[in-house]
Chain A
């Protein structure tokens, strides 16, 4: 900003003392506030033991978990047989059907195996494992009881007591022991997202699937290809699309039914709570305290309470949302009712209308758009919070998420569900915003 002369600044200071000489709180209030906040945060740092917790965190695992969101690992164990052959062994979660030809895991003529990690590779035999790194060969010798890395090996090859760890970066890693090589090979993307290895359609991608639906022989006799594709996709054992979509629907149903039922109950009750509509203090007070009570009992309390009563599923979720939101909506509705324009009611009264008609034609048309828009806000909010309520026991996608996270190896499925939730929330937000702006104009409040 441009500077002004000293004389000018003195003149201004004398002319407007109220601007330049304000109270201490006004002048330094912001600084004091910030300092107090920082002090409080420092207190919380120690109160919550943030330092030690961060230090003890398993940060090496964190990067693996994050990578699992967008990539997948194939984890065969290459067992050394008695007869000098190397045999791959897959866990039950293996991503390949039995006997499939895998382009990065190739058997050698002498019974060994070669494992390709992009430009690098492993040549595995029962006597020696050759590690090809950046075009150089590092032989790891297998003795009885230990695998031994060569001297002057690079940083990527580490001797860990009797085993040797080889790091290929993102492409994967290998753990060489005296009786097996545990390989981890990482690829971008989600494995078997369309069909699991046991499906007759395994190996098809999206385009070949579309081709299969519209032309091509029946893969399974007596069943149309479109039907087969749908069945196999929904029944995918690795990804459980059918189950996940059902659970997602349950969560949406929880939010929808809970909010709508709360609206239907809060609507008549709010008329008793509003002083202008029911000019009797006793029902006003009782109804308002009732709203405060059921609103303030935490949603968690309702959810766990009804889970005990009804067993896991959407019903406790609906009940939890219904109870808290009847209170919250009732309060908001009653406030809206107390702010209505009195002229329309007076007009109705002046022509001798009954009190029901006064409310129906003098009050409801004024408040209905506001009511609907408030309910839509709660619907949006509940669509998000129904996930969490589900996780504490009410079922739905929340519980599914919690199960997937609990195994610590299904982060790709977590990412898939998060993506589904994000899409659904965006769609519902837009629906709700569109309805709201039609009802009360684009200002939308």
Chain B
């Protein structure tokens, strides 16, 4: 059904009405023209970019597509139970001395009879990296955010410096921090913690100071009127208001950081990311699927838990995953 039909004839209109209609039609036409041009421009850019990506790839998309399907078809464990054996480090009936079916070698023994399966242990490492980085980054972002809020420090040098620090921390490539620390400390979780924490300071700091800027300033005025210092005003007027939102954003960041620490792990931070990269690189199908399932379950569990907690903290005024991911 044509909505704003700009070509239909209207017989009985006054001259003023005719003019109005003509202008309205002109505006609608311009609007449609611009919309069409923008859409065409974006699509043309998309087409060019895709052609470029295809040309730059080491295998062309349509040539490699059959290989992709072959890979998926051949990349299956010998029986579905193998996945669970790999996941919990149980002995495999196919064990032939090769590392591919040797699931028991990496058990982490706590006592003589009790062990933690290797993948679960590595997953614990990754999740702990995420939690520690969120705590450190959140704490430092918390300290920094009040200096970036216009309603607390004005629009002067302090705000400018605080905001630029956050921007640089947000945009600084994580792998460089991880790589530099790996070169100094050798491969390990500290590099991943530092990389993810620094990014978290910037990302959370930005979200935090936006919350602070939207805070109600009446409690602050009340404290100011009885002569409270700046620190006291922040502590007793601002922090109680913004704390639920801060914690909520922190939880959202935790979800993102679990993913980030997995990826950083693959480029030298250790944890499940590294193990996954090695196992898929060596064609260990059962191990690879075991890790994928473990990761999936962990991420969904953390998302659900954090979502539940966030709803309890700030109600249905849900926070935007898109915004928090920046």
A332 touches B171 (CB 8 A): no
Question: Are A381 and B263 in touch, CB under 8 angstroms?
Answer: no
B126 to chain A, nearest CB (A): 10
How would residues 304 to 337 of chain A score, 1 for a CB under 8 Å from any chain B CB and 0 otherwise? Answer: 1110111111110010000000001101100100
A288 to B50, CA, bound (A): 28
B259 and A313 within 8 A (CB): no
Within 8 A of A (CB), among B162-195: 167-168, 170-176, 179-180, 183-186, 188-190, 193
Specify which chain A residues have a CB less than 8 angstroms from the CB of B173 in the assembled complex: 384, 387-388, 398, 401, 418, 421
Stretch at the interface among A89-97, A165-173, A295-303: A295-303
* Residues of B close to A354: CB separation below 8 A: 1
Compute how far the CA of A40 lies from the CA of B326 in the bound complex, rounded to whole angstroms: 28
Q: Which residues of B contact A261 (CB under 8 A)?
A: 46
The answer, yes or no, to whether A402 is at the interface (CB within 8 Å) is yes
Judged by a CB distance under 8 angstroms, whether A117 is at the interface is no
Specify which chain A residues have a CB less than 8 angstroms from the CB of B67 in the assembled complex. 309-310
What is the distance, in angstroms, from B268's C-beta to the closest C-beta of chain A? 8
- Taking a contact as CB atoms closer than 8 A, the residue among B1, B176, B266, B296 that contacts A357 in the complex is B1
List the A side residues contacting B260 at CB < 8 Å: 388
Provide the A58-101 mask, 1 if CB < 8 A to any CB of B, else 0.
11011001000000000000000000000000000000000000
A250 within 8 A of B: yes
9 of the cross-chain contacts (CB-CB < 8 Å) are A1-B232, A47-B128, A257-B50, A296-B299, A328-B321, A332-B320, A375-B322, A392-B277, A425-B171
Within 8 A of B (CB), among A1-50: 1-2, 37, 40-41, 44, 47-50
Interface residue from A48, A388, A414, A422 paired with B171 (Cβ < 8 Å): A422
Q: Across the interface, do B190 and A53 meet the contact criterion of CB distance under 8 Å?
A: yes
- Given known pairs A54-B185, A377-B326, the reply for A299 and B53 (CB within 8 Å) is no
Alpha-carbon separation in the docked complex, A336 to B73 (Å):
38
Interface size counted on chain B using CB atoms at 8 A: 74
**Residues of B close to A47: CB separation below 8 A:** 128
Does A353 count as interface, using CB distance less than 8 angstroms?
Answer: yes
Which residue from chain B places its CB closest to the CB of A324 in the assembled complex? B259
Is the beta-carbon distance between B168 and A422 smaller than 8 angstroms? yes
> At the interface, yes or no: A366 with Cβ under 8 Å from chain B?
no
Interface assignment of A195: CB less than 8 Å from any CB of chain B: no
Residues from chain B with Cβ under 8 Å of A389 in the complex: 263
B289 → chain A closest CB, angstroms: 10
Residue interface bits B37-67, CB-to-A below 8 A is 1, else 0: 0000010011001101110111101001001
Residues A300 and B263 in contact in the complex (CB < 8 Å), given A254-B53, A387-B175: yes
Whether A1 lies near B263 (C-beta < 8 A) is no
B3 at the interface (CB under 8 A from A): yes
Residues of A whose CB lies within 8 Å of any CB of B are: 1-2, 37, 40-41, 44, 47-50, 53-54, 56-59, 61-62, 65, 246, 249-250, 253-254, 256-257, 260-261, 292-293, 296-301, 304-306, 308-315, 318, 328-329, 331-332, 335, 353-354, 357, 361, 374-375, 377-378, 380-381, 384-385, 387-389, 391-392, 395, 398, 401-402, 405, 408, 414, 418, 421-422, 425-426, 429, 445
Which residue of chain A has its CB nearest to the CB of B70?
A309
In the bound complex, residues from chain A placing their C-beta under 8 Å from that of B125 are 48
Q: Which residues of A contact B185 (CB under 8 A)?
A: 53-54, 56-58
- Minimum distance in angstroms from B317 CB to a CB of chain A: 11
Q: Which residues of A lie under 8 Å from residue B318 when comparing CB positions?
A: 335
A257 CB contact (under 8 Å) in B46, B132, B176, B226: B46
Query: Please, which residues of chain B bring their CB within 8 A of the CB of A57?
Result: 184-185
- Taking CB as reference atom, which chain A residue is nearest B182? A405
Type the 1/0 row for B138-175, where 1 means its CB is closer than 8 Å to any CB of A: 00000000000000000000000000000110111111
**Does B28 interact with chain A (Cβ within 8 Å)?**
no
Cα distance, A312 to B64, chains bound together (Å): 12
Query: Assuming A1-B228, A1-B232, A309-B68, is B259 touching A445 (CB within 8 A)?
Result: no
Task: Convert B273-313 into 0s and 1s, putting 1 for each residue whose CB lies closer than 8 angstroms to a CB of A.
Answer: 10011001100000000001001100110010000000000
Which of B52, B179, B323 sits near A377, CB closer than 8 Å? B323
Nearest CB of chain A from residue B295's CB, rounded to whole Å: 5
A301 and B276 contact, Cβ closer than 8 Å, known pairs A1-B226, A332-B322, A374-B322: yes
Known contacts A1-B228, A41-B132, A304-B276: does B71 contact A309 (CB below 8 Å)?
yes
B116 on the A face (CB < 8 A): no
Residues of B within 8 A of A56 (CB): 185-186
Closest chain A residue to B139, Cβ basis: A37
A378 to B320, CA, bound (A): 11
Which of B264, B292, B323 gathers the greatest number of chain A CB atoms within 10 Å?
Answer: B323
Question: Do A331 and B321 touch (CB < 8 A)?
Answer: yes
Neighbour of A50 across the interface among B68, B168, B190, CB < 8 A: B190
Q: Are A298 and B64 in contact (CB under 8 A)?
A: no
CB distance from A370 to the nearest CB of B (A): 10
Q: Is B325 an interface residue (CB 8 A)?
A: yes
Determine whether the beta carbon of A257 is less than 8 Å from that of B57.
no
Question: What residues of B have a CB within 8 angstroms of the CB of A2 in the complex?
Answer: 226-227
Residues from chain A with a CB closer than 8 A to the CB of B215 are: none
In contact, B322 and A328 (Cβ under 8 angstroms): yes
- Rounded to whole Å, the gap between the CB of B73 and the closest CB of chain A is 11
**In contact, A378 and B3 (Cβ under 8 angstroms):** no
Is there a chain A Cβ closer than 8 Å to B262's Cβ? yes
> Is there contact, CB below 8 Å, between A380 and B175?
no
- Cα of A66 to Cα of B267 in the assembled complex, Å: 20
**Chain B residues whose C-beta falls within 8 Å of the C-beta of A312 in the assembled complex:** 57-58
Question: B179: which A residues are within 8 A, CB to CB?
Answer: 401-402, 405, 414
User: In whole Å, how far is B314's beta carbon from the nearest beta carbon of chain A?
Assistant: 15
Q: Nearest Cβ in chain A — how far from B90, in angstroms?
A: 23
Instruction: Report A261 CB to chain B, min CB distance, Å.
Output: 8
Interface membership of B108, Cβ < 8 A: no
In the complex, residue of chain B having the shortest beta-carbon distance to the beta carbon of A352: B1
Determine if A257 and B42 form an interchain contact, defined as CB atoms under 8 angstroms apart.
no
